[in-house]
Amino acid sequence: MALKIVKGSIDRMFDKNLQDLVRGIRNHKEDEAKYISTCIDEIKSELKQDNIAVKANAVCKLTYLQMLGYDVSWAAFNIVEVMSSSKFTFKRIGYLAASQCFHEGTDVIMLTTNQIRKDLSSPNQYDTGVALTGLSCFVTPDLARDLANDIMTLMSHTKPYIRKKAVLIMYKVFLKYPESLRPAFPRLKEKLEDPDPGVQSAAVNVICELARRNPKNYLSLAPLFFKLMTSSTNNWVLIKIIKLFGALTPLEPRLGKKLIEPLTNLIHSTSAMSLLYECVNTVIAVLISLSSGMPNHSASIQLCVQKLRILIEDSDQNLKYLGLLAMSKILKTHPKSVQSHKDLILQCLDDKDESIRLRALDLLYGMVSKKNLMEIVKKLMLHVDKAEGTTYRDELLTKIIDICSQSNYQYITNFEWYISILVELTRLEGTRHGHLIASQMLDVAIRVKAIRGFAVAQMATLLDNAHLLTGNTQRNGICEVLYAAAWICGEFSEHLEDPKQTLEAMLRPKVATLPGHIQAVYVQNAAKLFATVLRNQEGAPEAAQETSQLMIERLPLFVQSANLEVQERASCILQLVKYIQKLQQKDVEVAEEVTALFAGELNPVAPKAQKKVPIPDGLDLDAWINEPPSESESEDEKPKAVFAREEPKHTRTRHTEVDEKELAKRREARKQEQANNPFYIKASPSSQKVYQDAPGVEHIPVVQIDLSVPLKVPGLPLSDQYVKMEEERRQKDNDKKKKEKKRKRDKRGRGKHADSGPESEEDITPAQQVDIMTEEMPENALPSDDDDKDPNDPHKALDIDLDKPLADSEQLVARTHRSAEVLKSPGGDGDGETITPEPKKKTRKDKKEKKKVKDKERTRSAEDKKNKKKHKHDPEEEEAKIEEAITLVNAEEAQPAAAADLDFWLTTDAAPSSAQEAVAATIPEVPIEAEPSEVKEAEPEEMKSKHKKKKPKKEKEEMEREKKKKKKRHHHHRSDREETESVQNGTMEEEEEEPLPPMSNYCLLAENDYIKMIKQEKDKVYDIQGNLQDGSQVVVSIIFQNKSSSVLKSMEFNVLDSLNSKLERPEGATPHDALTVPFQLPPDVSNEARFVFAVQSIVMPQKLKGTLTFIVKSDDSATHEKLDFKLHFTCTSYLITTPCYSDAYAKLLESGDLKSSSLKLEGVTMPFHHSLARICFHHHFSVVERVDSCASMYSRSIQGHHVCLLVKTADETVSIDAKCDELMLLENVLDEIKQTFSQS
Amino acid sequence: MIKAILIFNNHGKPRLSKFYEHYSEDTEQQIIRETFHLVSKRDENVCNFLEGGILIGGSDNKLIYRHYATLYFVFCVDSSESELGILDLIQVFVETLDKCFENVCELDLIFHVDKVHNILGEMVMGGMVLETNMNEIITQVDSQNKMEKSEYPVTAQGFIPRASCSKLAGLMLKEPLLSVSYVWPSVIPVTFEQLSSHIYIN
């Protein structure tokens, strides 16, 4: 054995190490592959040795070979061996190799789980570090699932080096194992405030990455990030946060408003270009999200544009590039502010850097207006001439076309100019974009009726010069324009000056060298031209016969074509012409009949029209039309089906007898529909202006070309002359206008000094009377159902609502970890429920989601694993079934609760720093429902009594004013989503109804100089099974907000228990002991704590007196302070929104066990659905059924009482008939409802 | 997220490749070739950003690169990264290499790609920026090297000093290894004072 080791180490001295390998490869330039293959053989034999050092050396060499492109997956097992060496040196080599070549398909990965777990818990921090780094590259769903818990533990490691790595790798774990996100998230959030900047930065990194994919789930973190943004000095972190805010603002415009100020400050103060740039970017995102005006809106834009100009003018190309990039974002919403920097952008077109030129081109696209389009395009045409590389030239070409054709040719005032630009572009050789030019030509010629005459003339010239284009047809994409030219000349041949000449041009032998599809168009349109020529030659039979002869002579060339399409068309037409010739010889007038072949106009059809044809009612496209053929029959039937497929009879035949009136009516209806149809392309504003009420296509006035201007100016390219013309025309227009103005002014005498500044956009009238015909859409076009997210996106699985409380089953496997701040909830026996921070609440929705995710993620994992999993979940699933009714509601309500936190933060807009709010750790929540309005009412007295002792009167008044303001704000800023949700759980009709007014569930509990307590009505999370026997529990969330500039500590919360309601205290405590609030409050910080109460009877509202004592600690002193408050438990707060089906509801009413009462509310002016929403929102009812002005509603108390309401409305009176099995409860609830309504 | 980090020389020879998403070896080589093709045809004084090649995600991704003497350092990143930040990260990376290798040159990267990987591993992890403080990175790398040395003095020669680099080059004089001259230019071509105008993050 010893000998073997010695031998091994001697061998090793002769082994190549990595350096030798590299050197060897470099020495074998000629036969590198051969050399490497001998090296691989050596490596293979080295791997067979027992000596781990030899193995590690071999693996190290393999890693190098992998970089050179050699597959080393065959050594995967050896890599695992090296990874599991006890020596750090080898371990590192192993992990590096694994990170370079392991992936999800590597099967030995599953052998590594235990080794990695061992390394993660190694006492040596570098073992752990190396394992984490390696794992980050090859983590698989299985590894993620098995190690998630270990990594989560490492997030709280004592060494920041490990913490930051553990935090960072969590992102990869989430991606592979989405179920871990919710349990790990609280800790991840904690790490945002880690004392180590590296860890903090890592946490920001991970959350930003998560939030970028599913921003809406992270909105509630905005306050925390806001705090970080205003406090951090680490630019790396700041950049990430600011980028994240850029992603969040579109979802919450109020956030944007809050951000503007600190961002503007940063822009002014920072010297770091990277930070400046990201701030500008986010400000832009904010401005985009704020559609409605903000007072200092324009100032912010000006600031951004001004800073970007500085970037663009910088000599540093990187800053220039980014400046242009950001500028293009502003352009989308505020084109005016960018347009003033046109000079700068045009200058960038001359930059030597192609990426900068391309960015500048992008910008130009958005900068054009009617006024400057010609000028800009002229500049671009110059660049086209200068451009050398074909890629850039092609890019220019597409940009020119994009710029001109954007928004339905909105900026083109002169289509003749545009056609000549297109014709000029055909001079480009070797471009790939011939088809683009062609489709533009076709589009313009078809849709702009007025231009057809001009277009046809230009196209005829193109066809005539075709020999120029056909030089190298196969390579030259430009010949595509001939396709358009031929079609336009044929279709609109009536505009041709000399159709015969064009016909000859189209039948030249050289045409046969064109691609097949173009030839086919040539042949077909030659026939159309032929018809026109015949028509023109009516009365001149000889000329007509000559034309036929020409056709007969030339067409055989196409009949011989190898292209099937060309051949078929040519032979058809040839036969036709021969027949015509025969008739002509008999002196028959054929012209009219031949033209009839091509009669009728083709209208442009919208590209999506076919897709939008609605399926008529009762038509099931999947249903068999006939009985499905039996097996034996089908064999005989098959050939028939192919050739003799019967066209279903067109329904249109039915319409033939519709009278004129009906038709007019329909036309009107269709117009109406088109006006409402977003997909119906409307005429551009300019043309609308010209033809406001053109009754139909027939009546469109045709272009009047001012022929007094000579069409050809020698020395200038064609399009340039239009620029000149345009200038002159505008000048003339302006002069005329000025004259008019002057006249007016003269009439008025010495009027105000009218400024004759630059002509505005509106002043420019189109040179031609152009009409853009709209594209046709089927009637009743379906709304589009476009973009779907990529179903394979791994981030989709991470779209998890993080605000929902955790369910037990979501805990990560193995040990669970409690976060330190968990408030000890003093409930009963002290174990189970109270220790798990997550309430035993499993929403049904949740479960579904989870299952989906699981199915997706686990498709690869073995069947038995799946089964095991199912087993584990079974009991919970049963439970879920029992609780179905309740949990359904919970799922809907958890969201509003979190949203409420955010709402609160967003609406407190005083000093940004005073609005920071940290969210308390999760505790078992069985929150109380408190009716805000009632508490509000009670507050003033209480405030008074308190302030009498402590404060001068003035201050007191101020307080109250502030409080009122606050309340108002709450009422105003509640997002509508929540209310609609609460109404939707009934059967809300989809009729159009006014938006609901915002509602809030916050109320001020008490406040003094130092602290403000805000009670938050938490939506119920309630476990009926646990509490039905021994009374009920409710949880009250209270936000403590430090208003002073000192630290508040040792906060103790105490409530004087009543017979009925008791504050839950830890076991062993007397009923008079106070509860310690588990946090301190630094200045201007707020935090939330929850308190559990046990309630006996719920039929009466309750009031509890309480006191908060705390120590105010300033630099030199510490004083003891206290604050009294009153807690209100209304009866509605004991109700839980519970959906009820109408049949169950009817049964309940029929049962006769319920006692009834009623209530009449007079002078209710709000719409009925608002009243319902109010009842739903404030009193936790759900709508069972609603018919017109009558609705039945249902709710259930936490002790299982049923409460049924029948709400009716008739002119400003709402009457409520109510039934409940507990009359007292019912009366109180009705009282509370009454109060709610009297507040409005 | 950083999708990939590539280092190759003026001829497209890979000196380090780190992909944070899995590709087959062939695709990896294609990506390196494509990236080299895109980057190498750019002039010295143009901007350092360009849209990613087709193979590595197309226009969703950006290539951000810096060119130092004979080497290109290319980071392929998506839209969540700050362009200027990444440029500075590359700078931090190269400066760190310079500190660890004492005037780093291409030869160091050729012979010690494993060590470069280890340094990179302290900066970027799984495609996310782990540490940007050069001193912190160097401290961690150094103490790991010390550990390696104490464990296994034979393989752990540490970083070969620059002198032995040129000695190595000298030994291989028989055959030209690189088309550049044997006087290895320092990877960092300019002094830090000059560079500071190109530092964006602080």
Q: For A252, left (φ over 0), alpha (ψ -120 to 50), or beta?
A: beta
What backbone phi and psi angles, to 5 degrees, belong to A489? -65, -40
Report CA-CA distances (Å) from B132 to A135, A160, A236, A626: 21, 15, 8, 72
A912: enclosing H helix or E strand: none
Residues of B in contact with A353 (CB under 8 A): 43, 45-47
What tokens does A538 get? Answer: 């009516």
Tokens found for residue A990: 């989809």
Instruction: Name the residue among A104, A133, A239 with its Cβ closest to that of B85.
Output: A239
- 3-state SS class at A1202: strand
Q: Which residues pair with A1036 in a beta bridge?
A: A1091
Is A164 in Cβ contact with B130 (below 8 Å)? yes
Which among B43, B113, B126 has CB closest to A168? B126
Determine the 3-state secondary structure of A1152 from DSSP.
coil
Between chains, do A355 and B49 touch, taking CB under 8 Å as contact? Answer: yes
Under-50 pLDDT residues of chain A: 8, 10-11, 633-658, 680-716, 749-762, 769, 784-788, 814-895, 909-994, 1017-1030
Give the tokens for residue A757: 């500044």
CB contact under 8 A, B128 and A206: yes
pLDDT at residue number A654: 43
Q: Among A67, A133, A354, select the one facing B125 at the smallest CB separation.
A: A133
Which residues 321-350 on chain A approach chain B with CB closer than 8 angstroms? 321-322
Nearest-neighbour CA in chain A from B16: distance (Å): 7
pLDDT of residue A1154: 80
Q: Which of A66, A89, A318 sits opposite B152 (nearest CB)?
A: A89
| Residue in A26, A235, A354 closest to B177 by CB | A26
Task: Give CA–CA dist B119/A137, Å, rounded.
Answer: 16
Q: Would you call A87 and B121 a contact, using CB atoms and an 8 Å cutoff?
A: no
- Cβ contact A352–B46 (<8 Å): yes
* Per-residue model confidence as pLDDT tens digits over A481-493: 889 999 999 989 8
Long-range contacts of A385-393 (CB under 8 A, 24+ apart): A389/A354, A390/A430, A390/A431, A390/A432, A392/A354, A392/A357, A392/A358, A393/A428, A393/A431
Mutate to test the interface with A, among B8, B155, B159, B178 (most CBs of A within 10 A): B155
pLDDT at A805: 65
Closest Cβ–Cβ partner in A126, A136, A164 for B147: A126
| Dihedral sign, Cα of residue A1015, residue A1021, residue A1023, residue A1024 | positive
Residue pair B130/A168 in contact (Cβ under 8 Å)? The answer is yes
**Option in A56, A96, A165 nearest B125 (CB):** A165
pLDDT at A686: 41
- The separation between CA A888 and the C-alpha centre of its own chain, rounded to angstroms, equals 27
The length of chain B is 202
Which residue among A89, A278, A317 places its CB closest to the CB of B156? Answer: A89
* Alpha-carbon gap, residue B61 to B63, rounded angstroms: 7
* Side-chain half-sphere CA neighbours of B94 within 13 A: 28
Please list, in sequence order, all residues whose beta carbon lies within 8 angstroms of the beta carbon of residue A103, skipping any fewer than 6 positions away: A138, B22
Q: What is the pLDDT of residue A872?
A: 45
For B130, nearest residue in chain A (alpha carbons): A202
What does the pLDDT read at residue A342? 85
**Residue A104 sits at the chain B interface (C-beta within 8 Å):** yes
- For residue B111, the chain A residues in CB contact (below 8 A) are 18-19, 22-23
Output phi, psi for A1050, to 5 deg: 45, 50
CA-based nearest residue in chain A for residue B116: A96
Tell me which of B46, B159, B172 to substitute to probe the interface with A (most A C-beta atoms closer than 10 Å). Answer: B46
Residue A378 tokens read as 């002229």
Q: How far is CA A1086 from CA A652, A875, A1009, A1013, A1123, in A?
A: 70, 40, 14, 9, 16
Tell the residue number behind the tokens 């989405």, with chain if given: A178
Distances (CA, A) of A771 to A400, A607, A687, B119: 21, 19, 6, 66
How far is the C-alpha of A1226 from the C-alpha of A1232, rounded, in Å? 10
Question: Nearest-CA distance from A326 to chain B in Å?
Answer: 12
Please report residues of B whose CB lies closer than 8 A to that of A208. 80
Yes or no, beta carbons of A18 and B114 under 8 Å apart: yes
Distance CA A530, CA A522 (A): 12
Residue in chain B nearest A139 by alpha carbon: B126
Contacts of A172 in chain B (CB under 8 A): 126
d(CA A1102, CA A1099): 9
Q: Residue A262 burial by CB count (10 A; 0-12/13-18/19+): exposed, middle or buried?
A: middle
Residue of B nearest to A21 (CA): B111
Contact A209 B128 (CB under 8 A): yes
Tokens of A671: 């117009």
CB A87 to CB B151 under 8 A?
Answer: yes
Beta pairing partners, B112: none
Q: Give the nearest chain B residue to A86 (CA atoms).
A: B151
User: Within an 8 Å CB–CB cutoff, is residue A160 touching chain B?
Assistant: no
Cβ(A840)–Cβ(A833) below 8 Å: yes
pLDDT at A414: 87
Cβ–Cβ under 8 Å, residues A478 and A469: yes
Digits of tens for pLDDT over chain B (202 positions)? 999 999 998 889 999 999 999 999 999 999 999 999 989 988 888 888 887 777 777 677 889 998 887 889 999 999 889 889 998 899 889 888 888 887 778 888 888 899 999 999 999 999 999 998 889 999 999 999 998 888 766 544 444 444 344 444 433 322 222 223 223 333 333 333 333 434 676 6
Tell me what pLDDT residue A971 has.
Answer: 45
A391 touches chain B (CB under 8 A): no
Q: Count the neighbouring beta carbons within 10 Å of the beta carbon of residue B161.
A: 14
Using a CB-CB cut-off of 8 Å, the residues of chain B touching A89 are 147-148, 151-152, 155-156
Nearest-by-Cβ selection for B25 from A71, A273, A316: A71
Q: Which amino acid is at A639?
A: P
Q: Do A243 and B143 touch (CB under 8 A)?
A: no
**Strands (DSSP E) along A124-184, which ranges?**
none
Q: Look up the pTM and report it.
A: 0.58
Nearest-angstrom CA–CA distance, A63 and A576? 75
| pLDDT value at residue A653 | 39
List CB contacts (< 8 A) between A137 and chain B: 20, 126
Give contacts of A 396-415 with B, CB under 8 A: none
Residue A1081 contacts residue A1111 (beta carbons within 8 Å): no
Q: Which residues of A touch B197 (CB under 8 A)?
A: 316
Which of A64, A137, A320 shows the shortest C-beta gap to B113? A64
- The single-letter DSSP state of residue B188 is -
Adjacency order of strands within the sheet including B71-77:
B14-19, B2-9, B71-77, B62-68, B49-51
DSSP secondary structure string for all residues of A411-438: T-S-HHHHHHHHHHHTT-SS-S-HHHHH
Is there a contact between A126 and B45 if contact means CB atoms under 8 Å apart?
no
A175 CB near a chain B CB, below 8 Å?
no
Q: Which of B75, B125, B198 is most worth mutating to test chain A (most A CB atoms within 10 A of its CB)?
A: B125
- Of B45, B113, B136, which is closest to A67 when you measure between CB atoms? B113
Q: Hey, CA dihedral for A484, A490, A492, A496, is it positive or negative?
A: positive
Closest CA to B130 of B139, B121, B141, B143: B121
In this structure, what token pair is assigned to residue A326? 């950001």
Name chain A contacts of B110, Cβ cutoff 8 Å: 22
Cβ-defined contact of B175 to A209 (cutoff 8 Å): no
Please tell me if residue A19 touches chain B, with a CB cutoff of 8 Å. yes
CB pairs under 8 A between A and B: 172
Of B114, B152, B201, which is closest to A87 when you measure between CB atoms? B152
Q: Considering only CA atoms, which of A700, A767, A703, A682 is closest in space to residue A413?
A: A767
Q: Does A275 touch chain B (CB under 8 A)?
A: yes
CA torsion, points A956, A958, A961, A966, in degrees to nearest 10? Answer: -100
* Backbone angles phi and psi of B73, in degrees to 5: -110, 115
Whether the CA torsion A397, A399, A404, A409 is positive or negative: it is positive
φ/ψ (deg, to 5) at A185: -65, -45
Sequence-distant (≥ 6) Cβ neighbours of residue A620 within 8 angstroms: none
Query: Which residues in chain A are contacts of B83 at CB distance < 8 A?
Result: 274, 277, 318, 322
